[in-house]
Amino acid sequence: MNPEPTIQMPAQWSTIAPEVDYMYYFIYWVSVVFTIGIFGSMGWFMWKYRRRPGVKAKPTGHNFGLEIFWTFTPLLLLAYLFHAGFQGYLHGTVVPDDHVEIRVRGMQWNWEFEHPGGVIDTYNELKVPVNKPVQLIMSSNDVLHSFYVPLFRVKRDVVPGMYTSLWFEATHTTGEVTGCTQDAQCGEGQSCYYGNCIAQCQQDSDCWEAIGEGSWCGGQVGDETRICALPVFCAEYCGAGSGITRSAFDDPDGSGRNTNHSTMMADLRIISQEGYDRFLEVGPPPPAECATTDATCEGEECKACWGQSLYQSSGCSACHSSDGSPGPAPTWQGLWENQRTFMNGAEPAVADRNYIRESILNPQARIVEGFGNVAMPAYRLSDNQIDAIIAYIQTLSE
Ligand SMILES: [Cu+2]
């Protein structure tokens, strides 16, 4: 599969994509033919029967054949469209039996993914096995979101107070994503998704070989089409546009990512079945740029690097600054082993490991003095990830 992207449609990366595109193009070409036919004959009749001196209009008679023709042609077309559309709808709704079930939670402004066995992936990163049906069971922690993967042709609302679900089967791990123009101005080692620049796999460790045999990129190192991730969008553009506040805290790294619905992006990585099994066993790996050769990320340097990466990718940076500047949440600069005072009557405490761990997993337990206005969402990070964040916070106090 993976026909090239066209002007109208990005490449097809799921089993359902060809069906969706076929229907789209069918309706498109029917519309083109009828539009040209109708406006063409209108114009022609206008010219043919234009007013001329000395010519009198004659009443037209009844043409039975013509009546039959223009009654039954649209009827047949519509009957076919209904049949094909309904069939496509069923394909999109009925999940094949041997599927993997992944929970998706939307929240302002992140995506959380929980895999079988309770393995929580890194925020805003969804790993799925190739050639395997994947069902997403989706819910929202706050407002209406909308999970959208254009390359899979799937999109569904993520609604507070109820579950919605969708399924897809990814067909390959590598290939061309979109007809990218030079306009996108992506830097070296980046590729373009709808005008956004996203890192391309430059080295094998980007492909998670760092932590096992499993590879999620396929292709060869340096291969132009070797893509690390497909984009996931939140298509709930009509909801609140801006983040907590429209300030520097919305976008501290200038990436414009995950500050409102329209930038609420996640990376979707299609990986081999072996790679996925390994992921379920080991948990989320440290990012490749932290240059580790093992999954555990021993060593403070790797941990701090991982923590900094989580600080950006998990959206902590939307509220917490790392350089002491004020914002909706306490800055992390100087936080380590600092004395904290609380609003809800809790005893003052020192910001140690246990305190930071609790602040992440159960932020409402103790509210820092003066920060009662914004509620921090509870994050479900792995122990390794929490260790990494602590290591990063430690470096901010040196
Ligand atoms: Cu959203």
Q: What is the pLDDT of residues 314-366, one digit of tens each?
A: 888 888 999 888 888 999 999 999 999 998 788 899 999 999 999 999 998 89
Q: Tell me the CATH number of domain 295-398, given options 1.10.760.10, 2.40.10.480, 1.10.275.30, 3.40.50.300.
A: 1.10.760.10
Distance 164 CA to ligand 1 centre (A): 15
Q: Which of 60-64, 287-291, 300-304, 388-392 has the highest mean pLDDT?
A: 388-392
Model confidence at 309: pLDDT above 50: yes
Give residue 143 CA to ligand 1 midpoint distance, Å. 8
Is the predicted pLDDT of residue 268 greater than 90, yes or no? no
Å from CA of 250 to ligand 1 middle: 15
**Alpha carbon of 234 to ligand 1 centroid (Å):** 5
pLDDT at 193 over 80: no
Q: Any idea what the Cα angle at residue 107 is, between residues 360 and 216, rounded to 5°?
A: 85
CA of 122 to the centre of ligand 1 (A): 17
What pLDDT does residue 225 have? 39
Q: pLDDT grade, residue 257 (50/70/90)?
A: low
- 60 CA to centre of ligand 1 in angstroms: 58
Buried b (16+ CB within 10 A) or exposed e, 180-205: beeeeebeeebbbbeebbbbbbbeeb
What pLDDT, on the 0 to 100 scale, is given for residue 3? 66
pLDDT, residue 42, reads: 97
Per-residue pLDDT, averaged over 290-312, amounts to: 76
Q: Rounded to the nearest whole angstrom, what is the distance from the C-alpha of residue 262 to the centroid of ligand 1?
A: 7
| Ligand 1 center–CA 233 separation, angstroms | 8
Query: Mean per-residue pLDDT for 228-233?
Result: 74
Cα of 11 vs centre of ligand 1, distance in Å, is 24
Cα of 138 from ligand 1 centre, angstroms: 12
Q: What percent of the chain has pLDDT over 90?
A: 40
Ligand 1 ion: nearby residues, β-carbon < 5 Å: 145, 234, 236, 261, 264
Please give the distance, rounded to the nearest whole angstrom, from the Cα atom of residue 365 to the centre of ligand 1.
26
Is the pLDDT score of 50 beyond 50?
Answer: yes
Cβ partners under 8 Å of residue 223, min gap 6: 174, 201
CA 289 / ligand 1 centre spacing (Å): 28
Q: What is the pLDDT of residue 97?
A: 92
Least confident of 127-131, 212-216, 241-245, 315-319: 212-216
Q: Which pLDDT band, with edges at 50, 70 and 90, does 255 fall under?
A: low
Contact, 111 vs 136, CB < 8 A? no
Hey, what CATH topology would domain 98-285 get? Immunoglobulin-like (2.60.40)
Query: Where is pLDDT greater, at 78 or 344?
Result: 78
Rounded to the nearest whole angstrom, what is the distance from the C-alpha of residue 353 to the centroid of ligand 1? 32
Averaged over 113-118, what is the pLDDT? 88
261 CA distance to ligand 1 centroid (A)?
4
Q: Once rounded to an integer, what is the mean pLDDT over residues 364-383?
A: 86
pLDDT value at position 292?
A: 52
**Does the reported pTM lie above 0.85?**
no
What is the distance in A from the centroid of ligand 1 to the CA of 314?
15
> Residue by residue, what is the 3-state secondary structure of the chain?
CCCCCCCCCCCCCECCHHHHHHHHHHHHHHHHHHHHHHHHHHHHHHHHCCCCCCCCCCCCCCCHHHHHHHHHHHHHHHHHHHHHHHHHHHHHHCCCCCCEEEEEEEECCEEEEEEHHHEECCCCEEEEECCCEEEEEEEECCCCEEEEECCCCEEEEECECCCEEEEEEECCCCCCCCCCCHHHCCCCCEEEECCEEEEECCCHHHHCHHHCCCCCCCCCCCCCCCECCEEEEECCCCCCCCCCCCCHHHCCCCCCCCCCHHHCCEEEEEECHHHHHHHHHHCCCCCHHHCCCCCCCCCHHHHHHHHHHHHHHCCHHHCCCCCCCCCCCCCCCCCCCCEECECCCCCCEECCHHHHHHHHHCCCCCCECCCCCCCCCCCCCCHHHHHHHHHHHHHCCC
Residue 216 has pLDDT above 60, yes or no: no
Calculate how far, in angstroms, residue 107's C-alpha sits from the geometric centre of ligand 1. Answer: 7
If you average pLDDT over every residue of the chain, what do you get? 79
373 CA distance to ligand 1 middle (Å)? 21
Domain residue ranges of the chain, discontinuous segments joined by +: 17-51+60-93, 98-285, 295-398
Q: Is the pLDDT of residue 244 over 50?
A: no
Ligand 1 centroid to Cα of residue 160, in Å, is: 11
Q: Is residue 251 scored above 80 in pLDDT?
A: no
Residue 142 alpha carbon to ligand 1 centre in Å: 9
Cα 105 to averaged position of ligand 1 atoms, centre (Å): 10
Q: What is the mean pLDDT of residues 101-106?
A: 95
Which band of pLDDT confidence, cut at 50, 70 and 90, is reported for residue 210? very low
Distance 168 CA to ligand 1 centre (A): 20
Distance 58 CA to ligand 1 centre (A): 62
Q: Ligand 1 centroid vs 159 CA: distance in angstroms?
A: 10
The pLDDT-based confidence of 27 (bands split at 50, 70, 90) is very high
- Higher-confidence residue of 4 and 176: namely 4
d(CA 391, CA 306): 9
| Confidence at residue 215, expressed as pLDDT on a 0 to 100 scale | 33
